[in-house]
Every structure is written in structure tokens, then in C-alpha cells.
Amino acid sequence: MYNTPVHHITSSATPVTVPWQNLSGGNAHECKVRTHEALFCEGDDAEFLYEVVEGVMCNYRILMDGRRQIISFAYPGDLIGLGQTDCYRYSCEAVCNAKVRSISKCALMRDAQGHADLGHRLFEIATNELASMQEHQLLLGRKSAIEKLASFLLVLARKASDEDDPQASFKLPMTRTDIADYLGLTIETVSRNMTKLKLSGVIDLPQTTTVRVRDMFKLEELAEGDECNF
Amino acid sequence: MYNTPVHHITSSATPVTVPWQNLSGGNAHECKVRTHEALFCEGDDAEFLYEVVEGVMCNYRILMDGRRQIISFAYPGDLIGLGQTDCYRYSCEAVCNAKVRSISKCALMRDAQGHADLGHRLFEIATNELASMQEHQLLLGRKSAIEKLASFLLVLARKASDEDDPQASFKLPMTRTDIADYLGLTIETVSRNMTKLKLSGVIDLPQTTTVRVRDMFKLEELAEGDECNF
DNA sequence: CGTGAGGTTGATCGCTTTCAACGGAGGTGG
DNA sequence: CCACCTCCGTTGAAAGCGATCAACCTCACG
């Protein structure tokens, strides 16, 4: 069974005290989600929001014949369940063993009525999510396979970047299938382009789940589509 | 010069009184935008939000080599400029002659501090936008050309649907290029699949900018990817 | 040591893109 | 009024990229 240890990749979200922790008080409960276990499914009553505490979750939608599109990965500090009304419009499961904190949605909305700060913060989070989805639409609609993969690795590298050692390696908590479903590709195409990046010296792959960027400039060029012939 | 008359396709957004009209008071100014004229560009200071009053606008991002991805079309009643922080992260231009109402962003944010209703409404709008972007990601990442086009026409047909006459025809305010850039395809592919839908009797094309759905069921099947062999 | 899930690589297929030619609609100016 | 031009859309032929099908590898685990 797939059982990667939980990787602590800090979220790019502001790491300040999270406002709903205090405000929703007793309404927040922690719960564990194991690799590939579902947190909720498309169509379930959207009673809760969730904050990722540990590990990585993914939100996805599927077509009837099984084609899957991963909308986003959620890292510690990220909020899951925005963009929902009465029932969830997508499914959510753990990419690796994870821990989430559930937050009663109606309690949160009630709190937001009284605390403009909280409302503002929620709006800001929704805003950031919109921005990253716009970026992802550009990727899905207009980038080639190699550009998609380069963009993806670049985001992960920056998320995990260590100021002391910018060349430090980082873990991929998700499988090739997850990456493929996020980038709108197949596993074979992801694998082929991963080796292409390795052979051309842009990245190192000490293990299949470990990446080290060797040529950040080239990776950035590829991600932005400057590099015509690769 | 391209000069389509302005089409009044009502937005699916709740057609109730729009809260910021009242709250931002004298801060809202109307302005006209002509076909293919830019309202703002990626990188501009994000001083204003805009409400579409008339016509259709589109938000898009481009890669350096000119590849363009349209993020969304904005119809009358829709709000443009969410998902921005200090400067716009995408460009916005008119698809056909349009009229927008500008809303000072900081004035709006100030008002939202005092009026929980307004804050809640803005959050709700952001939420709806997130939901439709999730749908669009599924389309971009996992649907075939014919499924993409069917999905697109289905949304427009529903938006323009007349309860008295569900078979009524509707106008496409945007060019084939715009459709292609929205669906992540080329104009040729859009054109080919448009004729494919016409020849198979799913739609009628009295003019290139006018569509009538003849077989709604088939169109829905295609959009959801049920129809294996088309 | 067998088993199964995840990953890589090769060969081939086919859908979408690319390149190219043509046609129609609308605007302009002689 | 008509020739001309430009933009937009359609259609055909060919090319190319990513998908599909298939074989094999690796590693963790019982």
C-alpha cells in the first residue's frame, strides 16, 4: 500500500495566527485522513470547511467515464471548502496521510457577521484562491506538457524553498497519477517529461518522490514558455 | 471594423438590487468600452472593480509568445476585478461594445467593514466565481474539443433561455477566436466542431453568430462526455 | 520470495494543431 | 455603384504532440 510519510511543506499562505481558530472556538475538531481516503464527496452536504493541519489534500472533479481533474492541492494552512453553497461541488481526498481541522460553516458565517476582520480575511483567502485558479487555467488551456510540468515543479520548489539552501531538494507528496490529473495529462506523459527534465540537467531525481532543481533559470524559462525548442 | 450590435443576454446572477450601487454612492461611474478596447491590463494598479452594465467583457491572460487564455466572460450584472490584490493579474477587454460601472475598490472595502451584508454578498460572489472556475478547469483539463464546445454552448443556451420558448435562438457576442481562447483550442477546431454539431442536427446556425439548439438532450450528453462515439 | 501498486519506456494511434487556400460580410474610396 | 480591402470564418491536407496500448522495472510488504 502507498504509504509515504507525511511531508511538512509549509504553505505559502500567511503563517500568522489563523483567525477562525479563536472565533469558532469549540466548533473546530481535528481528524485524521489516511492516504487516498476521502474527506468528502461531490454532492455531500457542505456542513464544514476544513483547514489542513498536516499532510496534503486534493480537491477534484470527475466525469462519468472516470476522467479526473484535480482542481487544487491543499497544504498545511490552506482552507478547503470555499466555493460551495449547500453541497460540495467537488470531492476531496488525502494525497498522503493528513490531518485536518473541521470548522462548522454556519458557525463561521455567523461569526463573520459580527467580526468584519474575519469576513475580510475570508474574502482575502477566496481572492487568493481565485488568483491561483486563474494561473492554473492558463496552464491547462495553453501550455505544453513540458511547460505544465515545469510550472508545477517551480511552484513546489518555491513553496518548499529554504533561504539557507535554495538548491535543497523537496518531496513530491503526490503520485504521478495525481500530478497527471492536476496538469491535464496522462501518467506516461508526466513520466516522460520528468526524465526529459532530468536528462537535460534541469532537475535531479534522487528518488522518484524527491526533486532537486539544478537549473532554476532554465526551469523558469520553461514554465513561462520562453524556451521555444527544448 | 468589427462592430457587432450589443446583445442583451441577461446574467444568471441574482437579479436583485445590487448592494454596492447604493453603498458606494457617488463612487460609481459609468463608462463605455468599445469592441476589443481594453478596460485594464495585467499589471495596472487595481484601483477599481467594475460591474458590467451592457455588452460582454472578457478577462484573459497571455504568455509571452502571444498564446492567450480567456479566464471568463462577464455579462451584465457580473463583477470584474475580484481575485486582485494591488495590481490586476489579468487583462480585461470588451468582446463587443459594452458599458461598465466602475466602483472604487478601497471605498467598497471601507463600506464592507461597516456593513456585514455587503461583505457577505461580496464573499458569495467570490464563491460563485470559484465554483464556475472549477467547472472550467475540468473542461480545460479533461474534455475533448467537441465536449468543450457543447459545454460552452449549453451554458450560453441556459443563460439566454426563454421560458416561453426553450428552443429560441441566441446570439454569440464573441468571435471564434474568443471562443477558442476560452476553450483552449484553435479557431479551426472550434469551426470544425461547430459544423459537426450543425451537420448532426444538434444545433442550427442561421448565421455564424446565431445559434439555436435543436437537440438539447444530445447537447447535454455531449457536454458531460456520456456520448462515447460521436 | 511472491505479490501488487507505482513508475518508466517503447511503439503506435489519432485528435488537435499547423499551414494554406478560399469565401463572405462590411466598410471605404475612386 | 462597384472595385478593393480587411477581418472573420470555413474547409482541406499534412504534421506533431500527447494518448493509448503494452511490456517491463522497482520497491515495499506480508
Q: Measured between alpha carbons, how far is A160 from A8 in angstroms, rounded to an integer?
A: 9
pLDDT class of A16 with cuts at 50, 70, 90? very low
Distance CA A113, CA A95 (A): 34
Amino acid (one-letter) located at B207: Q
Q: Which three cell numbers stand for residue B212?
A: 439555436
pLDDT of A6 higher than 80:
no
Q: Which of A138, A221, A222 is best to mutate for the B interface (most B CBs within 10 A)? A: A138
> B119, A134: Cβ pair inside 8 Å?
no
Nearest CA in chain A to B87: A131
pLDDT of residue B2: 29
Strand partners, A204: A212
Please tell me whether residue B200 adopts helix, strand or coil conformation: coil
Q: What's at A88, amino acid-wise? A: Y
Chain B hits for A228, Cβ within 8 Å: 65
CATH topology for B144-223 is Arc Repressor Mutant, subunit A (1.10.10)
B window 111-150: Cβ near strand C (< 7 A): 144-146
The contacts of residue B30 (CB under 8 Å, 6+ apart) are B53, B99, B100, B101, B102
Q: Give the pLDDT of residue A17.
A: 38
- Chain centroid to CA A41: 17
In DSSP terms, A69 is beta-bridged to A61
Residue A45 per-residue DSSP state: B
Percent of the residues in chain B that have a pLDDT greater than 90, as a whole number:
67
What is the DSSP pairing of strand A203-207 with strand A48-54? Answer: unpaired
Q: How far is the CA of A17 from the C1' of D1 (A)?
A: 77
The answer to whether residue B99 scores a pLDDT higher than 50 is yes
pLDDT per position as a tens digit, B141-176? 999 999 999 999 999 999 887 766 767 789 999 999
Gap from A97 CA to D28 C1', Å = 17
Chain B residues close to A119, C-beta within 8 Å: 112, 116, 119-120, 123
- Whether residue A121 contacts residue A51, with contact meaning beta carbons closer than 8 Å, is answered with no
Nearest CB among B64, B126, B130 relative to A224 is that of B64
Any residues with CB less than 8 A from the CB of A184 and at least 6 apart, and which? A69, A140, A148, B140, B141, B142
- pLDDT, tens only, B36-59: 999 999 999 999 999 999 999 999
- As a whole number, mean pLDDT of residues B74-86 equals 90
Q: Which residues in chain B are contacts of A90 at CB distance < 8 A?
A: 134
- What number of helices (H) and strands (E) belong to chain A? 7, 11
Give, in Å, how far the C1' of C2 lies from the CA of A72. Answer: 38
Global pTM reads 0.88
Phi, psi of B105 (to 5 degrees): -70, -45
Question: Nearest nt to A35, CA vs C1'?
Answer: C5
A140-178 burial: b if 16+ Cβ within 10 Å, else e: bbbbebbbbbbbbbbbbbeebbeeeeeeebbbbbbbbeb
User: Is residue A130 predicted with pLDDT exceeding 80?
Assistant: yes
Find residue A38's DSSP bridge partners. A93
Domain with CATH 2.60.120.10 in chain A: 20-139
Would you state the pLDDT for residue A10? Answer: 31
Per the DSSP assignment, residues forming a β-bridge with A54 are: A99
A195 CB-to-strand C distance under 7 Å: yes
- Mean of all residue pLDDT scores within chain B: 85
**Minimum CA–CA partner of B108 in chain A:** A120
Alpha carbons within 13 angstroms on the beta-carbon side of residue A197 total 33
| Residue range(s) occupied by CATH 1.10.10.10 in chain B | 144-223
Which pLDDT value is given to residue B132? 94
> How far is it, in rounded angstroms, from Cα B207 to Cα A136?
34
> How far away is chain B from the Cα of A60, in angstroms, using its nearest Cα?
9
Who's near B199: CB < 8 A, 6+ residues apart?
none
- Asked whether residue A187, judged by its CB, lies under 7 Å from any atom of the DNA or RNA strand C, the reply is yes
What is the DSSP track for A170-186?
EE--S-HHHHHHHHTS-
Q: Measured between alpha carbons, how far is A66 from A205 in angstroms, rounded to an integer?
A: 30
* Chain B closest-CA separation from residue A123 CA (Å): 6
Domain A20-139 CATH (choose: 2.60.120.10, 2.30.30.230, 3.40.50.300, 3.30.420.40): 2.60.120.10
User: Could you tell me which chain B residue has the CA closest to the CA of A87?
Assistant: B131
Confidence tier at B228 by pLDDT (50, 70, 90) = low
Q: B99: which 3 cell numbers?
A: 458599458
Instruction: Give the rounded percent of residues in chain A with a pLDDT score beyond 90.
Output: 67
Distance CA B177, CA B189 (A): 10
Mean pLDDT within A202-208: 95
Contacts 24+ apart (CB under 8 A), B110-115: B111/B20, B111/B23, B111/B24, B112/A116, B112/A119, B112/A120, B112/A123, B113/A116, B113/A120, B114/A116, B115/B19, B115/B23
Q: Which of residues 188-207 of B touch strand C (CB under 7 A)?
A: 188-189, 192
How far does the CA of residue A32 sit from the closest CA of chain B (Å)? 26
> H helices of A59-115, where?
105-114
A131 contacts on B by Cβ (under 8 Å): 83-85, 89
Work out the pLDDT band at B3, boundaries 50, 70, 90.
very low
Distance CA B202, CA A14 (A): 50
pLDDT level of residue A53 (50, 70, 90 thresholds): very high
B63, A137: Cβ pair inside 8 Å?
Answer: no
Enumerate the H helices of A59-215 as residue ranges: 105-114, 116-142, 145-160, 176-183, 187-199
Backbone angles phi, psi at B181, to 5 degrees: -70, -20
The answer on pLDDT for A120 being more than 70 is yes
Residue A163: is its pLDDT beyond 80?
no
What Å distances lie between residue B226 and A93, B150, B202, B217, B222, CA to CA?
25, 12, 15, 11, 6
**Please, what's the b/e burial string for A94-109 (b: 16 or more CB within 10 A of its CB; e: otherwise)?**
bbbbbbbbbbbbebbe
In this predicted model, what pLDDT tens digit does every residue of B179-216 receive, in sequence order?
999 999 999 999 999 999 999 999 999 999 999 999 99
